[in-house]
A and B are shown apart, each in its own frame.
Chain A
Amino acid sequence: MNKKRLMYVLLGVMMMALLLGCSKKPEAELADSKAVLEAVAAEGGEKYAKEELDVIQSEMTAALDEMAVQDGKFFKNYDKTKEMLAQVKAKSEALKAEIPARKEKARTDAQAALDAATMAVTDAKALLAKAPRGKGSMADIEAFNADVQGLESAITEAQGLMTSEDYFVALDKANGIKDKASEISTQVTEALEKVKASKKR
């Protein structure tokens, strides 16, 4: 009788161990991690933190794989999955917290470039206004003025990009405008110096 009881107890302990081994699938942790990861994407992760987001997405896939492996086991142990999901969540949260600052930096960089471009166009216009009127290099001046009009249209486009928060495109455009405006200023300055020199002659 005592032997029988002992055997039942032993078997019962084994069953308990078996049941304890079948730990609960981390559905809540998975949902949390997915939600934070989606929030990163919604915050602009694809634009402002593409590489980090790709890494986290790969880690998420690895966590899902680990979970699938555990799903396939009789003794399920989701500890590693949980750990991986927690890491995904933590990294996602950290990245999400960084995005507003990156976005702000992109905005200020683009705005600074746009301000510099606007200034360069204003300078070019001021130089053109100084250019001698009448005969002189009228065709050139008129062509430069048309160039400046083109730059002004581009500035309007860049401002539109700022409004639509396409900061990187706006930055590229602003830099292009600035370069072209500086080029025009150089050409106008050269033309003015030429005129001055010919007057001295």
Chain B
Amino acid sequence: MIHGLIKTVLLLIALSIMTGCKSAPVPPEVREAEQQRIDLRKAGAEIYAPEEYKIYKRSLRDGQIHLASENNRFIWFRKYKDIKVEFTGILAQGKLIEAKVEEQKRSKSVTVANQIDFLRNRIETIRKLASLINEGRLSSKSLTQAELQLAEACALSDRGCYTEAEEKLKVISKHTEKAANSILPILNRYADNSKITKWRNWVNETVESSKRNQSYSIVVSKVDKRLYLYKGGRSYKTYDVELGTNGSNHKMYAGDKATPEGKYQVIKKVPGSRFHRALLINYPNEEDRRQFAIAKKKGLIPQRAAIGGLIEIHGGGKDGMTLGCVAMENHHIEELFRIVDVGTPVTIVGAIEYENSVTSAMKKL
């Protein structure tokens, strides 16, 4: 009886072996999903679609648990139909994430490229503005740091590391902000309409006096870096000039290297100047002395500071620049020196036009 039973069981087993006893194959979607998970991670799903990817991974894990549980069933009872359906769903979910990651990356790449362009232009604008007012010293450190970081951000963007590039761009923004803030107080002087109105009035008065007296008058516009020579109220000659470092500010005291703004006149002609030829002007005038006293009282300048003097229009070349004076090419000062006499009015202003090179460059900031 027992022998008969054993014989039957063994025969059944043998029969099943002979008839190809194996379970249904694991659906290919299982492997595809695992590969998809790796691909999604590589593509940056954790960064660009974090929530969706988290849900996807949970679904995949559930699927794998279901697969394992199916695998644990006795071979004849394993069915992968539901597993196939489940993993097909996971793959579809992954495809959506893949599309979202691609879209996000595309959008990020455009955003980053735009930001890079914006910051590159901003750096260029600040450099240009700083150069216009000879104040590279104030902004160059931050701008150099910004430029270095920008090169790194570009490299990161080229490698598709947009999130890291964006982090760099934030740092660059801080550097450019610092650079802009360092020169803005000076730039704002050239965009201040009340100041420009005052300067325009000085210029008009100077030209008027030239007309009235049928004489020469000199007007220096700092922002234009031009010296205008008027004769009988009409523009007679124009020369390029250069100012010193801090020359864009109004002179407050000795040694500040600023170029004074005001209505002056030539008080001495110096033929044997260190700077070829020189026309000494009467800085400080009454108004300068008054302003100096107020500034000292308010503590805006050092208490021991002197008002300074020896402000000239001199040669030495435009590249030579100066420490508060107005520098010209030697052949230009020779010509001017010949034309003008002691007593010639010299008006130095920040700007003549409301719309000037600084205000137009500032619009790009």
Please tell me if the beta carbons of B136 and A143 are within 8 angstroms of each other in the complex: yes
Of A34-42, A63-71, A87-95, A104-112, the stretch lying at the interface with chain B is A63-71
Q: Is A129 an interface residue (CB 8 A)?
A: no
Q: Is A97 an interface residue (CB 8 A)?
A: no
Please tell me if the beta carbons of B145 and A150 are within 8 angstroms of each other in the complex: yes
Q: By CB atoms of chain A within 10 A, which of B17, B25, B130, B135 has the most?
A: B17
In the bound complex, residues from chain A placing their C-beta under 8 Å from that of B75 are: 72-74
Chain A residues in the interface with B (C-beta under 8 A): 4, 7, 11, 14-15, 18, 54, 57-58, 61-62, 64-65, 68-69, 71-75, 134-140, 142-147, 149-151, 153-154, 169, 172-173, 176-177, 179-180, 191, 194-195, 198
Chain B residues in the interface with A (C-beta under 8 A): 3, 7, 10-11, 13-14, 17, 21-26, 30-31, 34-35, 38, 42, 67, 71, 75, 78, 130, 134-145, 147-148, 151-152, 155, 244-245, 247, 275, 316-317, 319-323, 327
Q: By CB atoms of chain A within 10 A, which of B7, B139, B145, B323 has the most?
A: B145
Among candidates B11, B25, B321, residue contacting A138 with C-beta atoms closer than 8 Å: B321
In the bound complex, residues from chain B placing their C-beta under 8 Å from that of A139 are: 134-137, 244-245, 247, 321
In Å, the complex CA distance between A172 and B10 comes to: 72
Min Cβ gap B331→A in Å is 11
In Å, the complex CA distance between A90 and B152 comes to: 37
Q: Select from chain A the residue with minimum beta-carbon distance to B150.
A: A176
Please tell me if the beta carbons of A72 and B71 are within 8 angstroms of each other in the complex: yes
Counting from the closest, the 5 A-B pairs by CB-CB distance are A143-B136, A150-B144, A142-B137, A146-B140, A139-B245
Known interface pairs A61-B35, A143-B136, A169-B152; 15 further A-B residue pairs with C-beta atoms within 8 A, sorted by A's residue number: A58-B38, A61-B31, A68-B67, A71-B26, A72-B23, A74-B75, A75-B21, A135-B320, A137-B320, A139-B244, A142-B245, A147-B143, A151-B144, A153-B145, A172-B152
